[in-house]
């Protein structure tokens, strides 16, 4: 009996050591609604920095539980329209924002970086309000996302060996994102990426309005310079810096 008890306690200890705990009421979005599509770009090289950012050890959307439940309600509404949310970024470790600051000050810009910043030097991105050194993402109050038409062909994948046009180009020329055409790619630091930009087509404007309206029905507010960025007033607080780790079943 003693050996059995010892073995049981050892198993519990191992299980606890491997369990992934999240602080401050955070949760993995997959545990709240696994149907929401995720493409966490800062965990990959497919972003404006060109490599995974500090603290992104897994491509998982981590959210405050209240935020996740509201996203679930939005997803249920969209599902009836053959649409889905697609998450690009959720909780962001504070160290990732500092990583962005260092990137902006490294003294050079590559062609791949210019795809995201076709007209604005990266040293100006913070001053102009496109990137924040202290982001609401780190407080769990902000999200980057888009819409996916589930009836469309979303099979095109990003190819790191291919040369794409910049983020303001027509959808067939820029890097594929497997989503509806919002007029620019994600993280496009250009006036065309402003939610109410006059330079986009009526169809693109309709998709943006549809996304903003769906999010607003659950209390989310859009940032006017980024059609993809939303925050939930009152959901924030102190910034966190815990790394995003792989989710365990």
Task: Give the residue numbers annotated as catalytic, written as ranges.
Answer: 226
Q: Which two tokens stand for residue 213?
A: 């309206």
229 is in an annotated binding site: yes
Q: Is 108 annotated as a binding residue?
A: no
Alpha-carbon distances, residue 129 vs 59, 63, 232 (angstroms):
26, 23, 19
Largest Cα span, the chain: 75
Tokens matching residue 125: 């991105």
Task: Give the number of other Cβ atoms within 10 Å of residue 213's Cβ.
Answer: 10
Residue 39 marked in a binding site? no
Closest CA to 94 of 141, 142, 135: 135
The CA distance from 141 to 145, in Å, is 13
Place of tokens 């507010």: 221
Distance of CA 155 to the CA centre of its chain: 20
- Which whole-number Å values give the CA distances from 48 to 4, 8, 15, 154, 238, in the listed order? 54, 48, 38, 22, 26
Q: Which residues contribute to the annotated binding site for Zn(2+)?
A: 137, 144, 229
Q: Which residues contribute to the annotated binding site?
A: 137, 144, 229
């Amino acid at each position: 009996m003693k050996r059995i008890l010892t073995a049981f306690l050892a198993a519990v200890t191992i299980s606890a050591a491997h369990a992934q705990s999240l602080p401050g009421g955070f949760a993995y979005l997959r545990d709240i609604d696994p149907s929401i599509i995720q493409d966490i770009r800062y965990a990959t090289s497919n972003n404006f920095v060109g490599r995974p950012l500090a603290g992104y050890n897994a491509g998982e959307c981590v959210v405050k539980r209240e935020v996740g439940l509201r996203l679930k309600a939005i997803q249920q509404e969209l599902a009836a329209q053959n649409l889905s949310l697609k998450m690009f970024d959720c909780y962001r470790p504070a160290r990732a924002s500092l990583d962005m600051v260092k990137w902006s000050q490294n003294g050079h810009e590559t062609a791949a970086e210019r795809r995201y910043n076709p007209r604005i030097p990266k040293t100006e991105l913070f001053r102009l309000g496109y990137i924040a050194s202290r982001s609401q993402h780190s407080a769990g109050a902000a999200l980057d996302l888009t819409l996916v038409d589930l009836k469309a062909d979303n099979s095109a994948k990003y190819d790191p060996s291919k040369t794409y046009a910049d983020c303001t180009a027509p959808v067939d020329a820029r890097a594929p994102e497997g989503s509806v055409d919002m007029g620019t790619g994600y993280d496009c630091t250009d006036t065309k990426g402003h939610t109410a930009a006059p330079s986009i087509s009526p169809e693109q404007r309709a998709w943006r309005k549809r996304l903003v309206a769906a999010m607003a029905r659950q209390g989310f507010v859009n940032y006017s310079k980024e059609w993809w960025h939303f925050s939930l007033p009152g959901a924030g607080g102190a910034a966190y810096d815990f790394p995003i780790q792989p989710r365990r079943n």
